[in-house]
Amino acid sequence: MSEFNPPVADIEFLLNEVFNLPQQWANNPILAERVDADTASAMLAECAKLSRDMIAPFSREADEQGCSFSEGKVTTAKGHKAAYQALSEGGWGGLTGNPDFGALGMPKALAVHCEEMFASADLSFSLFPMLTAGACLALNEHGSDELKQQYLPKMYSGEWAGSMCLTEPHAGSDLGIIRSKATAQDDGSYAISGTKIFITGGEHDLTDNIIHLVLAKLPDAPAGPKGISMFLVPKILNNGQANKLSCGSIEHKMGIKASPTCVMNFDGATGYLVGQENRGLMAMFTMMNYERVGVGIQGIGPAERSYQCAAQYARERLQGRRKGVSPDQAESLLVHPDVRRMLFTMRAFTEAGRCFSTYTANLLDITKFSDDEQAKQQAAEQVALLTPIVKGFCTDRGLETCVLGQQVLGGHGFIREWGQEQLVRDVRITQIYEGTNGIQAMDLLGRKVAPNQGASVAHLIAEAQQFADSATLTTEMKSALLAACQQLQECTQYIVEQGSPELIGATAVYYQDLIGYVIFAYMWAKMAAAANSDSELHRNKRTIAQFYYSNLLPRIDSLKLQIMADHSALMAMEEAAF
């Protein structure tokens, strides 16, 4: 695997020049005490060092070695223990957590960049802290004070890890039909029984204890999603005894091979209710916005690394030549416009994705830290709209980018040596887990757009239009952004007016792509406007922005036609004909 050079200059351009976040932080009473431009810069540098020196160098070996399973125990790949220790000692396990329990309480708009660097360095490894952070988030939001006191400090510090146990063999995206059972015990705890599959980090040897958050049903629970409760089920109980749970096996997967994907068996394990009975799915959903943004970032991290590798290869590999050059004189791959097209496309997606994740994370920060209730409410609505797009669109572009990166290397991209094939295998999971991208698209269109008659989208469009009208943009970019907004507006209105579940289902993925490309156009306009000097970084930003507008934004024209197409064939075919 090629070296990883964390894109710190690019990140600081976003934080300081595009979004001017230090100013926002300074104006917020909570964040003003915690972070400023210098703190952010120091943290990014430290995270870059950790990612580059402690995690990235082992990513290929970890993939080859994978995790191993024997008699209920999972052994992680070489290098992961040391990296995990360094990560914990650096306090990265509590980056955004609650300071009352020892975490740092940093804004998400800063944390997304650390998460992205970890994902670039080794997606498998990055899942350990991510899952723990997710469990902490749910616990901090919904757990009793007693549970928080007992568990959060050791989870933030990295001494203990966390896992999320949702999926069952017959119930993946359809959590309403889970069968795991919870029975109340006399001491106020619950006995949890059932089998969970696809549990990332369900068992491993990095920590002494693993705190599972498990969805299960109480005996008298209503049918469907309204009968699900959430329980905290530790691997090791407070008295030091092993809880009645075990890892039955780990999956053999296409990628993220150094992350153990476990079958977890709960056999009357002791658990503690988190939040209210039958409100487990609600509790889970409040944290899902964070998790899904996190998975969207996982599409960007590997894409960045793929770009760096492809760019290096293209600079150094001598192959072919421009017209007129002697046939025995080979030139760098960068003389070929098609190679540049691939590299430009990769950068256009990766840099816009990073900008979009920053934008969305900052909205999440407003919902969490602002003292202006109206601003909080508005931000929450926008976050609800944008989250499935960050997850679905950024990971779809993540695969596209990594496949392009592999393609730049030709046959050398298909063999292990350069690491491109691993990035493709790793990033592929991001389109699948935490709700497949098809489900994200249905969530977007069916729950976030159609029910409010497109009001959230209208807000986004108005903001982008206002930006187009007020910012310093080229005439071409201004009119292209306004036209793109218009297309999005027309498609939204078309679907909202028709409104049938069949139409929403048939067009959801097209619509997710459409709004994604329009948002990336808005992000590129923001970046182009901020890149107003003659520095190399600014010049390159303007160049890639121009490429995005001329070569990639036109994809929306087909998507509009696809949305407005006749979809009657789809449901006409009988099931037996498939």
Structure-token pair, residue 210: 């693993």
Report whether 121 contacts 69 (CB < 8 A).
Answer: no
Contacts (CB under 8 A) with its own copies, residues 439-468 = 441-442
Residue 421 bears catalytic tag: no
Nearer to its own copies, 110 or 508 (CB): 508
Of 134-142, 173-181, 281-289, 362-370: span binding its own copies (CB under 8 A)? 173-181
Q: What is the DSSP letter of 257?
A: T
Contacts (CB under 8 A) with its own copies, residues 487-506 = 501-502, 504-506
Which position among 113, 148, 425, 526 is part of the footprint of its own copies (CB under 8 A)?
425
Contacts (CB under 8 A) with its own copies, residues 133-172 = 167, 170-172
Under the criterion CB under 8 A, does residue 177 sit at the interface with its own copies?
A: yes
Paired residues of 212 in beta bridges: 163, 233
Contacts (CB under 8 A) with its own copies, residues 211-270 = 223-226, 251-255, 261
Under the criterion CB under 8 A, does residue 557 sit at the interface with its own copies?
A: yes
Report whether 22 contacts 365 (CB < 8 A).
Answer: no
* Distance, CA of 141 to CA of 274 (rounded, Å): 9
Give me the least distance between CB of 316 and its own copies, in Å please.
Answer: 11
What is the CA 161 to chain-centroid distance, rounded?
20
Task: Check 277, 434, 476, 490 and give the catalytic one.
Answer: 434
CA-closest candidate to residue 131, choices 329, 313, 264, 319: 264
Nearer to its own copies, 120 or 507 (CB): 507
Cβ–Cβ contacts within 10 Å for residue 403, how many?
Answer: 18
Which position among 344, 349, 359, 522 is part of the footprint of its own copies (CB under 8 A)?
344
**Helix (H/G/I), strand (E/B), else coil: 362:** helix
Contacts (CB under 8 A) with its own copies, residues 371-400 = 399
Which position among 183, 195, 489, 562 is part of the footprint of its own copies (CB under 8 A)?
562
First and final C-alpha spacing in the chain: 41
Of 18-26, 71-79, 185-193, 548-556: span binding its own copies (CB under 8 A)? 548-556
**Helix (H/G/I), strand (E/B), else coil: 203:** coil
Of 26-34, 128-136, 262-270, 540-548: span binding its own copies (CB under 8 A)? 540-548
Cβ–Cβ contacts within 10 Å for residue 361, how many?
Answer: 26
Which position among 56, 164, 314, 355 is part of the footprint of its own copies (CB under 8 A)?
314
Paired residues of 461 in beta bridges: none
Which position among 341, 451, 499, 535 is part of the footprint of its own copies (CB under 8 A)?
341
* Distance, CA of 533 to CA of 147 (rounded, Å): 52
**Helix (H/G/I), strand (E/B), else coil: 444:** helix
Give me the least distance between CB of 179 and its own copies, in Å please.
Answer: 11
Vertex 143: Cα angle to 137 and 148 (nearest 5): 80
Contacts (CB under 8 A) with its own copies, residues 69-128 = none
Under the criterion CB under 8 A, does residue 551 sit at the interface with its own copies?
A: yes
The Cα-based distances of 491 to 485, 486, 513, 514, 515 in angstroms read 10, 9, 12, 9, 10
Structure-token pair, residue 19: 């979004």
CA-closest candidate to residue 52, choices 358, 424, 301: 301
Which position among 378, 436, 474, 493 is part of the footprint of its own copies (CB under 8 A)?
436
Which position among 318, 451, 486, 498 is part of the footprint of its own copies (CB under 8 A)?
318
Which position among 350, 437, 487, 492 is part of the footprint of its own copies (CB under 8 A)?
437
Under the criterion CB under 8 A, does residue 555 sit at the interface with its own copies?
A: yes
Give me the least distance between CB of 55 and its own copies, in Å please.
Answer: 22
Please tell me the count of residues contacting its own copies according to CB under 8 A: 102
**Helix (H/G/I), strand (E/B), else coil: 578:** coil
Catalytic site positions:
434
